[in-house]
Amino acid sequence: MKNSKLKFIFIGLMMVNLSCFAQPEYTAVKNNFCANAESHSRDLQEKDDISFLLTPLTELKLNNKYVLSDFRPHWTIRVRECSFLRLYVRKKKQNRPNEDYFDKEYYRYIKCKKNNSPYNTSKNQVAFTEPFSKISLTGTKMSIWQAYLLEKSSILFGMRNDANYNQTYLITSVEDVDSIISLIKKSWEDDLFSENFNPNFVDAKGERYKRHVAETFAVVDSLQNLKFKKLEPVFTFDADSVTIEHYAFAEFHGLG
């Protein structure tokens, strides 16, 4: 299995204060960020203002004239689309558009971006506005890490239905590795990882099952080997960008 690190390039971070970089607790901030979102899972689906996501991200500051929101229709029993969280910012004084507006406007935005054409909007129109156009950073490594977490929200939580297959776990510590291994083990109905497990049981269930078991053990072995590697995120600074490298795991994409 290829253990290439996940890379992220954050463009346009200016005036980075290298002298104030302390050793940040990346894993703790990540876990608090995800736990906060999980504790507000219903609000995430039903509320228009989801600025509470920023609460654990103490080195990010949202312009007080704006709110953080999700550029999707509210989830309902009747609307069960496969979709990812689309974070955007909107002026507090602007009302939420009609539910059928979001998808049409978002895909117009995507089309303009793909064609490298201007995304023109009227003064009163609720447009898809990137969060970081109104969110400022303190300039520390931690603030960059927090910005990264917010940018990656759509694969950490807030997915709907089949989009959940893309849920990704960021690995920055041995504790993260142990948590993922535990998650894999608990996902098996058969007692595959028990000391009393009979391997003959695997042979009896056919080739497809045997292959699945072998792949699962290979994944767990790769994760165990990861414990001996440097897991803390690596930051590489250029003139106008920052590259972040770290490991990540997703059930349907493997270890990267």
Residue 222 maps to a domain? no
How many separate domains does the chain show? 1
Residue 248 maps to a domain? no
User: For residue range 210-224, what is the model confidence (pLDDT) as tens digits?
Assistant: 787 778 888 889 999
Residue 139 maps to a domain? yes
User: For residue range 41-82, what is the model confidence (pLDDT) as tens digits?
Assistant: 999 988 999 999 999 999 999 999 999 999 998 887 766 678
Residue 136 maps to a domain? yes
Q: Which parts of the chain sit beneath pLDDT 70?
A: 1-24, 78-80, 189-190, 195, 198-199, 203-205, 253-254, 256
What CA–CA distances, in Å, run from 234 to 1, 66, 150, 226, 244? 21, 32, 18, 15, 6
Q: What residues contact residue 61 under an 8 Å CB cut-off, 6+ apart? A: 135, 136
CB atoms within 10 A of CB 207: 8
CB atoms within 10 A of CB 85: 20
- The half-sphere exposure of 28 on its side-chain side, counting CA atoms within 13 A, is 5
Q: What residues contact residue 255 under an 8 Å CB cut-off, 6+ apart? A: 1, 3, 219, 222, 223, 226, 247, 248, 249
Q: What residues contact residue 36 under an 8 Å CB cut-off, 6+ apart? A: 52, 53, 55, 56
The two structure tokens encoding residue 76: 């309902």
Query: What is the domain range of residue 28?
Result: 15-163
User: For residue range 10-20, what is the model confidence (pLDDT) as tens digits?
Assistant: 443 333 333 33
Q: Is 41 exposed, middle or buried (0-12, 13-18, 19+ CB in 10 A)?
A: exposed
Residue 73 maps to a domain? yes
Residue 85 maps to a domain? yes
User: In this structure, are residues 170 and 233 in contact, taking their beta carbons and an 8 Å threshold?
Assistant: no
Tokens 């953080």 belong to which residue?
A: 68
Residue 128 maps to a domain? yes
Among the listed residues 130, 140, 123, 134, the one whose alpha carbon sits nearest the alpha carbon of residue 106: 130
Q: How far apart are CA 154 and CA 104, in angstroms?
A: 19
